[in-house]
A and B are shown apart, each in its own frame.
Chain A
Amino acid sequence: MNTTLDVGFKKLETEKEDKVAIIDYNLGNLFSVYHACASLGYNPKITNQKADVIDADYLILPGVGAFGDAMDTLKRLDLVAPIKEYIATGKPFLGVCLGLQLLFTESEEFGNHKGLNIVEGVVHKFPSIDKMGNILKVPQIEWNQIFLTDKTKWEKSPLNCCKNGDFMYFVHSYYVLPSNKSVVLSTTTYGLEYCSSIISNNIFACQFHPEKSGQHGIEIYKSFFGQNVHAL
């Protein structure tokens, strides 16, 4: 009896057949994103192939590093059009950290760089001094709190497993400023109040790292995967 149960359990844990693609563009720690997905029973593919991107059931754009470099690499790998094509299908998309920033129109990081322009807005650097005149350490490397902007929106998003004010792990020097405030899903304060996650149709993207935010963060992945692909 026990053996049967064991086998059943293993099946549940390892046999999720949904295709999860993690975009590999030679930047940042893809492995922590991979491990987070694997811990939920998925077998994600770390890939830079167009076909994998388009065919995925869930697409994740992670990334730590420089905006300009990242865009150059995405262009060189010919992944800009496939990412846009995927998003247009309405299937769930997750952007993490730089993967959030790249969705925007442009960034002021080391000069000016054009982004994917899927979400209208700009990416700014944190000021070196806060409103009180104190030195603001940049990058922000901190566990910081996320606060909701709209309860209904929050409850329909992958953050529905979180409480208002939960701590998440952040590491970044730049923050996003969306033109359309209605995409802002959560805000966080570091020197100033800024947008720490967005939601826009099938796009969910966050500045913090859910894969590095302990059990709460893993719950966010679970709830991202909980979105019914075929119903969208």
Chain B
Amino acid sequence: MKNIRVIARLDIKGPNLVKGIHLEGLRGLGKPEDFAQYYYENGADELFYQDVVASLYERNSLHDIISTTARKSFIPLTVGGGIRNLQDIRDVLRAGADKVCINTAAIRNPEFIKEAVLKFGSSTIVVAIEAIKQGDGEYLAFIDNGREYTGVEVISWAKKIQELGVGEVVITSVDREGTGMGYDVELVKRVSEITAIPLIAHGGAGKLKHFVDVIQKGKADAVAIASVIHYNFVKNNRIEMANKTEGNTEFLESGRHFTRISEPVSILEIKEYLNEHHIGCRI
């Protein structure tokens, strides 16, 4: 039986963990290291840090957060955001990441991905596709965290990524991201049908049944999860912000509940649910 990976995705702005909707309207939730440690201790199969404003400001400032996490969390750590050249990859790996995730630089310069694969090996290079559904039903890939139009069509881009030799693909539905409405199963299915490398589905998980849908119907090999587990953590823990100047802290200070995610759950609850539905995963 195939084993599905449950990946905790942590979007980071400056020193804070943030969460938005459609990758926008970022809310500050707390220190990413605290969330990462909790997920490591509570069944996450991997951690995924994404610097959500790195490409926009052409920076990559996660090094301290990466190295703190790498010293304490003995599961794979993928880092994305603002990686533009081989030196950026080397720096992120040196800080303690196991894999790097690239979107903007991959679309701008596919040759860079080829070089990166040759230099660091397929399994170190992950490419992210941020997809937005168009009026005609086709999907287009966006860059700079879903902000910038490229005109690149998702399916042909996914084929190209595979030819470049990368180890896995993350497919984000920008339309669903942060909404809790469920993964875009159609999008994931279309991409998984044409790829022979592992596929991580991201964007939209809000209820337990969404995971089963995207795995069974969408044929995802792994699921990346943010809101449902973050709000579960927030609900059960007292949170401290690393820095109040980055990200909107009103949400935490007001003590409100997140309205779009009606069923915050823990990673363990997700895994138990998968097992009940005959989907293999590590518990």
Contacts and interface: CB of A to CB of B under 8 A. Distances in A.
Interface in B214-234: 221-222
Contacts of A27: 121
Q: Max chain B CB contacts within 10 Å: which of A32, A39, A135, A144?
A: A32
Contacts of B168: 139, 141
Interface in A194-218: 209, 211-215, 217-218
Interface stretch (A86-94, A150-158, A167-175): A167-175
A139 B74 contact: no
A212 B123 contact: no
B119 to A, nearest CB: 9
Nearest to B43: A214
A141 B75 CA distance: 13
A29 B98 contact: yes
Given A139-B123, A139-B198, A141-B123, A29 B93 contact: yes
Contact of B74 (A29, A65, A212): A212
A211 B74 contact: yes
A77 interface: no
A143 interface: yes
Contacts of B45: 143, 169
Contacts of B70: 31-32, 35
A143 B282 contact: yes
Interface string A210-232: 01111101100000000000000
User: Which bracket fits the contact residues of B?
Assistant: 20 to 34
Interface string B72-112: 10111000000000000000011111100000000000000
Contacts of B265: none
B96 A144 contact: no
Contacts of B123: 64, 139, 141, 171-173
A142 B121 CA distance: 17
Nearest to A221: B74
User: Which bracket fits the contact residues of A?
Assistant: 20 to 34
Nearest to B76: A212
A215 B37 CA distance: 13
A216 to B, nearest CB: 9
A36 B123 CA distance: 20
A38 interface: yes
Contact of B71 (A29, A35, A167): A35
Q: Max chain A CB contacts within 10 Å: which of B71, B123, B167?
A: B123
B120 interface: yes
Contacts of A35: 70-71, 74, 96
B40 interface: yes
B21 interface: no
B3 interface: yes
Contacts of A213: 74-75
Contacts of B121: 27-28, 64-66
A67 to B, nearest CB: 10
B194 to A, nearest CB: 10
A31 B45 CA distance: 19
B198 to A, nearest CB: 5
B196 interface: yes
Contacts of A32: 70, 74, 96, 98
A39 B71 contact: yes
A212 B75 contact: yes
Interface in B142-182: 167-168
Given A32-B70, A128-B196, A212-B75, A143 B5 contact: yes
B98 A139 contact: no
Interface string A8-48: 00000000000000000001110110011011000000000
A138 B123 CA distance: 10
Nearest to B123: A171
B124 A64 contact: yes
A29 B70 CA distance: 11
B124 A169 contact: no
Given A29-B98, A137-B197, A143-B5, 4 more contacts: A29-B124, A35-B70, A64-B123, A218-B74
Pairs of residues from A and B, 4 with the lowest C-beta to C-beta distance, nearest first: A65-B121, A167-B282, A143-B282, A171-B123
13 contacts: A27-B121, A28-B121, A32-B70, A65-B121, A141-B198, A141-B221, A142-B221, A143-B3, A143-B282, A167-B3, A169-B75, A172-B123, A212-B98
